[in-house]
Amino acid sequence: MSPKLVWASSVGVLAVAVVVWELQPALSNPDVASADQQVAAALRWMEQHEDWMTVPPEHGRFLWQIVEATRPRRILEVGSAFGYATLWLGRGLLGREGNITSIELLEERVEIARQALERAGLSARVRVITGDAFEVVPTLSGQFDLIFLDAAKADYHRFYEMLLPRLREGGVLLAHNVIARARQVRPFLDRIESDKRVIASIIRIGDDGFAFCVRRRGKESQGTTDTP
Ligand SMILES: C[S@@+](CC[C@H](N)C(=O)[O-])C[C@H]1O[C@@H](n2cnc3c(N)ncnc32)[C@H](O)[C@@H]1O
């Protein structure tokens, strides 16, 4: 093995050790461990209904990781559908403070999302609002630490302009399906690439992925300085 590869694998082992060490106090708490099992069971229940799994499990896992790593207190999801991704996001909140507001257009989907949240034991942490996010978001107060955008792809650029001012500085906005649906979200992708208010990347997981945008801090968050 070359010295570089040895170095890379040592860093990998160290990173895994740090994550395990970080998670360990939470999961060794029996209350958190049993809450986690309850969420896992609700996810398995949802996975029996293929059309309820609107993100693949590996994308749900990524959302869980992001919540664990960034520890947001206020999460906003735009496009809850049946609540599958909402459960993964909520899993990352176990054992600490934090809540989710999730918006969905279709009442019949909201009903299933509420059942899923109840099964997962997350009802008290998640508010699901039925309505058009373009009308609902302006009625919400304050800013969010993490925003997950997963609604109509053709509207992503309009959602983005509405949502970015609602993201706190240093906060993360994730947008789903930006690889598989790249054509529909092109105006959004062009916008984040040139927008000086964010640091944006595309993260591929399997056949699809996420736009990962971090809102810059201070003057940069207003887009008033040049990005190198
Ligand atoms: C791909 S699904 C969301 C999947 C969900 N995030 C998950 O992973 O489980 C997109 C959802 O966005 C909803 N939607 C589309 N436009 C919307 C809007 N303007 N406001 C609220 N919801 C919207 C649709 O009804 C649909 O259920």
| Tens-digit pLDDT profile for residues 65-122 | 999 999 999 999 999 999 999 999 999 999 999 999 999 999 999 999 999 999 999 9
Q: Is the CB of 35 within 6 Å of ligand 1?
A: no
**Residue range(s) defining the domain that contains residue 196:** 35-222
Pocket-testing residue among 49, 80, 132, ligand 1, by greatest number of atoms within 8 A of Cβ: 80
Q: Provide the residue count of the chain.
A: 228
Give the per-residue pLDDT at 222. 85
Q: Is the residue at 18 inside a domain? A: no
Residue 224, SS3 per DSSP: coil
Residue 53, SS3 per DSSP: coil
What are the phi and psi torsion angles at 20 (to 5°)? Answer: -60, -45
pLDDT beneath 70, residues of the chain: 1-28, 224-228
Number of domains making up the chain: 1
Q: Is the residue at 155 inside a domain? A: yes
Q: Is the residue at 52 inside a domain? A: yes
Q: Is the residue at 186 inside a domain? A: yes
Nearest atom of ligand 1 to the alpha carbon of 132: 20
CA distance 161 to 216: 15
Q: Is the residue at 110 inside a domain? A: yes
Give the per-residue pLDDT at 6. 40
| Prediction pTM value | 0.87
Q: Is the CB of 105 within 6 Å of ligand 1?
A: yes
Pocket-testing residue among 78, 111, 146, ligand 1, by greatest number of atoms within 8 A of Cβ: 78
Give the per-residue pLDDT at 96. 94
For residue 118, give the CATH number of its domain: 3.40.50.150
Q: Is the residue at 64 inside a domain? A: yes
Give the per-residue pLDDT at 101. 98
Give the per-residue pLDDT at 24. 53
Residue 181 tokens read as 């649906």
Q: Is the CB of 221 within 6 Å of ligand 1?
A: no
Residue 145, SS3 per DSSP: strand
Ligand 1, atom 11: closest residue by C-alpha: 79
Q: Is the residue at 23 inside a domain? A: no
What are the phi and psi torsion angles at 7 (to 5°)? Answer: -60, -45
Pocket-testing residue among 49, 53, 54, 117, ligand 1, by greatest number of atoms within 8 A of Cβ: 54
Q: Which neighbouring-strand residues pair with 205?
A: 208
Give the per-residue pLDDT at 124. 97
